[in-house]
Each structure stands twice: as C-alpha cells, then as structure tokens.
Amino acid sequence: MSEQAVVDNLEFARHGAVLQGELAIAQLDRLQALLFSSQGSLNYTLSGKTGAKGESLLECCIDGRLVLQCQRCLEAMEYSLHVVSTLKVVKGLTQFDDVGDEDEAVDSIPASAAMNVTALLEEEILLNLPISPLHALGACREQKGAKSVKDERTNPFGALAALKGKL
C-alpha cells in the first residue's frame, strides 16, 4: 500500500541525488515493539554525496517525535528523534578487506541497485534509540503506588547481603 521507495544507492550517491519525504511511524514494523504509540510520522532527507577519497556516501537525516515506552513505569515517554548519519556504499561488501584504517563513525552498506529506503531509515532509527528508554529519575508515574520505594526502605542492605551470599 505505502509506496516503497527503492533506489540504486551507488547511482544515487554518485549523482548527488536527494530524496525527501515522510515516514509513517506505523509502517516501521521493527520499531513497533519499542513504541507506546505508533501515531504520527517522521521527516527524512536522504542525500547522495561523494567523499574526499571518492567514496560513495549516503547521508540520512531523520527528525520527528516518537512516543516510546518507559521501561520503568511502562508509561508513554516522548522522545525527540534527530538522526544524522553517513553511510558508505561499498561494492561487494562481503569481499571488502580494507576497512581497518577507516574511521569507525562511518558504517558501510552494500551497493544495491534496489535498496529499500524505508528499511535503511528504519535501521538508522533503531541504531539511534536508547536501548532502555527511561523517564528522568523521579518522573515516573509509579510514584503513586509507591510500592517499590517502600520495599527498598524496609531493608536497604537486603539485596547487597543476598548478593554477597552468592559470592
């Protein structure tokens, strides 16, 4: 249903092409498990570039708001997404053996005549999300129930003692 943008990534980079658009958050399958709500959309710009050494580069910029789920209280947590990443398009990535001296900040992706833009952007979003999103300390809703706080107070050294016993 959604138009899947597909590009020849090597040609795209060489020609300095630019693709701008909106990504419906609901269409990003791999992201859903991390989301509290899948409403809304993200803006993206994919730009083709040629690096100083003649490398074929893709620059991804993704902006928008995601509603993640706080891993402490399981409530909604707004997250401002701002991704800027540069990827190097490499022909025959599997045989590529000259990665050693390159700066680690630039990831490589295989050259493809039919690269799925949405899949690439989704991957970049996933790489840039916090592994365990949490509200700032004290900002969680669970304060109302205050159960866990009480437990900790009852025996502050209980956990430590238990740990020591195991060593």
The binding site for Zn ion (CB under 5 A) comprises 70, 72-73, 135, 140
> Which parts of 51-146 fold into alpha helices (H)?
117-128
| Phi-psi group of 12: left, alpha or beta (phi > 0 → left; psi -120 to 50 → alpha; rest → beta) | alpha
Please say which residue, 53 or 144, places its beta carbon nearer to Zn ion. 144
Distance in Å, CB of 144 to Zn ion, minimum: 12
Nearer to Zn ion, 14 or 135 (CB): 135
For Zn ion, which residue has the nearest CB? 70
- Supply the minimum distance, in Å, between the C-beta of residue 37 and Zn ion: 15
Contact 31, 126 (CB under 8 A): yes
Q: How far is the CB of 70 from Zn ion (least distance, A)?
A: 3
Half-sphere exposure of 28 (CA within 13 A, CB side): 26
Nearest residue (CB) to Zn ion, 19 versus 76: 76
- Nearest approach, Cβ of 82 to Zn ion (angstroms)? 22
Q: Cβ of residue 73: shortest distance to Zn ion, in angstroms?
A: 3
CB nearer to Zn ion: pick between 15 and 141: 141
Strand partners of residue 88:
57, 108
**Which CB atom, from 75 or from 102, has the smaller least distance to Zn ion?**
75
The Cα-based distances of 16 to 72, 83, 165 in angstroms read 44, 20, 62
- Whether the CB-CB separation of 42 and 81 falls below 8 Å is answered with yes
User: DSSP 3-state helix, strand, coil percentages of the chain (rounded to 5)?
Assistant: 30, 35, 35
Which of 95, 54, 78 has its CA nearest to residue 133?
A: 78
